[in-house]
A = this chain, B = another copy of it.
Amino acid sequence: METDLIGTSIIGFSRGGKTAETFTAFDPASGNTVEPVFHSATNDELEIAAKLADEARLSYAAAAPVKRAAFLRSIADNIESLGDTLIKRASLETALPNARFEGERARTCFQLRMFADVLEEGSWVEARIDHAIPDRQPLPKPDVRSMLRPIGPVAVFCASNFPLAYSVAGGDTASALAAGCPVIVIGHTAHPGTAELVGIAVSKAVRDHQMPEGTFSLLFSAGYEMGQALVRHSAIKAVGFTGSRKGGRALMDFAAARPEPIPIYTEMSSVNPTFLLPNAIKERGNDIAKGLHASVTTGAGQFCTKPGLVFLPNDADSFVANFNSQIEQTTPPPLLTGGIRAAYVAGNLKRAGEVDNTAANEEAQLPGFAVNPSAFETTAIEYLNMPDLNEEIFGPTTLLIRSGEKEELLRIARALEGQLTASVHGTEEDLAEYADLIAILETKAGRLIFNGFSTGVEVCPSMVHGGPYPATSDGRSTAVGSRAITRFARLVCYQNFPQSALPNELKDENPQNIRRMVDGQVCQNRER
């Protein structure tokens, strides 16, 4: 693979032009620009990418699942082949350590291979067969069969905070390609070099596996307009986005206002409420303070699952002192972009006007995009009166909220917006006593965690990384784990079709040997 960066979009099998609108990445540690210059795609280039995706729609959907699986594995292999070039570039563009990207690369490749496994196993299509009963009274029963089929070309937006696992070949791209959908990625301006490298890896796999040209494109853009135009484009049939609440809601509104509205999965904003019950602090206060500090500051606090609201007992003075002192001792980390830094600084400033700012590194001239970690504190009563305190501040900060009675916690839980996660620390007896708190939190979050922290998302069949609005646009599904493949699929039913015209998954002989529901009973044809 050619790994010299040229800074242009990847449009099917061609490269975009060196257009006049340009941007660069920055080294967040120094604030200096990083070579090379990147060129925004033109509207014409977007049109070509969309046309190619539209043309690839049927042929890519028709590729046998095992072929799509081999294609996904090949993307993972190619990403690994990029070796240290990729790790160093991602580290340079983010000021995050190499080790972080070794882990994130492993996750990215694991995700691609996991979906390859899902395709090879094959049962994800939820095939159902109901045989005809020609002599049924009063009317004959027809032969009816159905399964999930690809939804069509998908627009994927790279996330600022996951240059590998939620970007060019990240979770949304992997699940969309697995489902049989061509993908057009919009690169993130924070790490375009990482995007180009991964884009080259995907492109090579498309060619090597003789997939149609429009299976994959990567568009760069200095501004927001290109992404908005892509979401509005008639060829696009679904969207995956990870980013800010403002940006995500804008795309939701564009998707809903189309002549043909389309499904959109935006992951936007979550403050991941964390409830520290009295017995937990008594029994394990130091451990919890340490774990909370790591969860708030790892990756410079730039995780969608960072605990941003922590509820704790009124008398937890020593816990708070312990936690605050850890925050104060934390080296100011550089944030990913100047924009994220500015939003963090403004968010801290606003919050300092509302509640007590109990922990912050000393003010000093910090290099690049570095910021002081911080902690704030208030009471439950004040919190309930200030809805602004539910706003996510992206970066290494959190808000501690002292509360008293259980009834107050229930009131707080009822007032919460939708969340990716909610965590409860306590004893098993606490959990029983607070069963009504759990029941409320279950309506608010996609994932409930007991005696653990919300950062760190296991990639496994049962993971749910989702939640009601504004955590995501569509709380019915998950962005992480093998279930994510169903986001980019829709049910299609075949009535009275002859065997020869049915998809393999629905043929009587079950050539792929998948698990199906036949006449209401689930049949496990495969020994597993």
Contacts and interface: CB of A to CB of B under 8 A. Distances in A.
Interface string A461-502: 111101011100111111000010000011111111110110
Given A450-B497, A478-B491, A462 B57 contact: no
A466 B438 CA distance: 35
Given A130-B461, A463-B146, A57 B260 contact: no
Interface stretch (A222-230, A388-396, A439-447): A439-447
B256 A144 contact: no
Nearest to A258: B469
Contacts of A458: 130, 141-142, 144
Contact of A456 (B123, B139, B262): B139
Interface string A109-153: 000000000000001000011100000001101101110010110
B491 A483 contact: yes
Nearest to A148: B476
A64 to B, nearest CB: 15
B517 A528 contact: no
A57 B151 CA distance: 33
A464 B146 contact: yes
A16 interface: no
Interface in A289-323: none
A491 B475 CA distance: 8
A63 interface: no
A149 B492 CA distance: 24
B469 A261 contact: yes
A452 B495 contact: yes
B256 A252 contact: yes
A341 B478 CA distance: 45
A151 B129 CA distance: 28
Contacts of A139: 456
Q: This chain: how many copies in the complex?
A: 2
A464 B451 CA distance: 42
Contact of A461 (B417, B432, B440, B520): B520
A386 interface: no
A279 to B, nearest CB: 14
A144 B149 CA distance: 28
A73 to B, nearest CB: 18
A495 B448 contact: yes
A342 interface: no
B58 A443 contact: yes
A428 interface: yes
Contacts of A448: 492-495, 497
23 contacts: A57-B443, A130-B460, A130-B462, A141-B460, A146-B462, A152-B443, A237-B468, A256-B261, A260-B418, A428-B498, A428-B500, A435-B501, A445-B492, A446-B493, A448-B497, A450-B495, A450-B497, A450-B498, A462-B493, A462-B517, A463-B493, A476-B490, A515-B522
Given A58-B439, A260-B418, A450-B497, 12 more contacts: A128-B483, A130-B463, A149-B442, A260-B468, A263-B476, A431-B497, A448-B494, A448-B495, A450-B498, A461-B520, A476-B490, A478-B493
10 closest cross-chain pairs (CB), A and B: A256-B256, A464-B493, A128-B462, A447-B493, A449-B495, A130-B460, A146-B462, A464-B491, A130-B462, A431-B501
